[in-house]
Amino acid sequence: MQYSEKVMDHFMNPRNVGVIENPDGYGKIGNASCGDMMEIFLRIEDDIIKDVKFRTFGCASAIATSSISTEMILGKKVSEALEVTNKAVAEALDGLPPQKMHCSVLAEDAIKAAIEDYLKKKNN
């Protein structure tokens, strides 16, 4: 299996790892069949993503996709962050091995879950 340099970089030096206390949005996505899990924490002000942190229990591809997707949404509007697809995330990493594409879905789904949580809280 061949990983791109970007995948290796984000796996070895993941960006935005951690937790935000009392986040404005929180998402947790798990894959029950394998036990892999990803959490996203968002700090949002005026509909802009001001801070994002993640925790991922998964393989190198899952960690790399989590890391780069946090970079892709930081500073973006909520509506723009919702448009980040797992395909765009994989492309930003210069590709993932085909059998690892499903790992990038964790990142997309966790971001969407965290934004949905934010929107739900906001509209209450």
- Give the separation between CA 73 and CA 109, rounded to whole angstroms: 13
Contacts (Cβ under 8 Å, ≥6 apart) of 19 = 39, 41, 53, 55
The residue type found at 22 is N
Q: Which of 7, 73, 103, 113 is catalytic?
A: 103
Question: Of the candidates 4, 9, 14, 36, which one interacts with ligand FES according to CB under 6 A?
Answer: 36
Could you confirm whether 103 is annotated as catalytic?
yes
Residue 31 as a binder of ligand FES (CB under 6 A): the answer is yes
Query: Across the beta sheet with 25-31, what order do the strands follow?
Result: 25-31, 36-45, 48-57
> Minimum CB separation from ligand FES for residue 100, in Å?
6
- Give the separation between CA 74 and CA 30, rounded to whole angstroms: 23
Question: Of the candidates 52, 84, 93, 103, which one interacts with ligand FES according to CB under 6 A?
Answer: 103
Residue 102 as a binder of ligand FES (CB under 6 A): the answer is yes
Residue 58 as a binder of ligand FES (CB under 6 A): the answer is yes
Instruction: Copy the structure tokens of residue 47.
Output: 């509909």
Residues interacting with ligand FES, by CB under 6 A? 31, 34, 36, 58-59, 61-62, 100, 102-103, 106
